[in-house]
Structure 1
């Protein structure tokens, strides 16, 4: 797939597949205990973030999708990452078949509307790429902000579960004709 088909521009954001140069920004975000408290519950190490970055490269190379690194168009400042994965989490066979959306924003980029803008753009991309397909996500029941964002984009709780010994809500965004 040509690189131009993998880059998304919105009014304020540029979304592109990750590059090696993104490591330090990703590390700063994923090692911020406040930012990741509802996801991992603990700051990631440099090794953990390096593995995440390599896994993201692999997603793009093998599957043609992954997490985009999100930056501000005006100045190139790092915002976070948003995108789709298939991690084969073992939550259910149905879950593991569907593209799973995820979003994570650096602390300085939160509460500016960037998450909504980036998720909206990612979902438009997905709706073209996988017309008629549901997408899924998992959200901590305590993550009110992510639950609100998911709800804005029609992610509804499908069921409750446990993942890595933590409670999760498994959410699904059904295609419009199935609602």
Structure 2
């Protein structure tokens, strides 16, 4: 199972040891507002961890817990998974953060390293992201990552805004970043 790191985060594959931190985040109705529309119970969070652990074993990727390096606290979670949880579909990237960490660039930081994993390690050809149509924060992260708006589609029992990016666009973006740094 792959641990990813950024300047401020360590992305660890979800385990039982993350239950308290994940439950603290998932039980916040504002965090879950655009995801399920209701706060998770502790049992919901424990069931999620079990599903995620099984997907790590089956696919070699799934959800990570975001551990802030400075505090060693879980401040978020994110994934690379199959869109709609169906291996016939392209890869999907997603994230959520504790409310006190919104607007500080953590989602974008994590999204960069997860997208790199999807394209460079998993060799995905297409990476999608979905969000509730009113979730302007997530849509902003998707655009900042370089994804393009595709339209409204039905995923996860709701009409969602869908964004995507091809591996070629990711590679060109990465090449642009390299040239800009020189």
Q: In the alignment, which residue of structure 1 is the partner of 2:160? A: 168
Aligned residue among 148, 153, 175 for 2:140: 148
d(CA) in 1 for partners of 2:97 and 2:88? Answer: 24
Shift of 1:76: 0.5
Q: In the alignment, which residue of structure 1 is the partner of 2:176? A: none
Aligned residue among 25, 32, 53 for 1:29: 25
Unaligned runs of 5+ in 2: 173-182
Aligned residue pairs, count: 171
Unaligned runs of 5+ in 1: none
d(CA) in 2 for partners of 1:66 and 1:125? Answer: 11
Equivalent positions of 1:38-117 (< 5 A) are: 38-86=34-82, 88=84, 96-117=88-109
Q: In the alignment, which residue of structure 2 is the partner of 1:158? A: 150
CA contact (8 A) 1:84 1:101 kept: yes
1:147/1:177 CA distance change after superposition, 3 Å: closer
Superposed CA RMSD in Å reads: 2.1
Equivalent positions of 1:114-133 (< 5 A) are: 114-131=106-123, 133=125
Query: What secondary structure does 1:168 align onto?
Result: strand
d(CA) in 1 for partners of 2:125 and 2:11? Answer: 22
Shift of 1:121: 1.0
The alignment's TM-score, normalised by the length of structure 2, stands at 0.85
Bigger mean CA deviation after superposition, 115-124 or 167-176: 167-176
Q: In the alignment, which residue of structure 1 is the partner of 2:3? A: 7
Runs of 4+ aligned structure 1 residues displaced above 4 Å come to: none
Shift of 1:164: 5.2
Shift of 1:41: 0.9
CA contact (8 A) 2:112 2:145 kept: yes
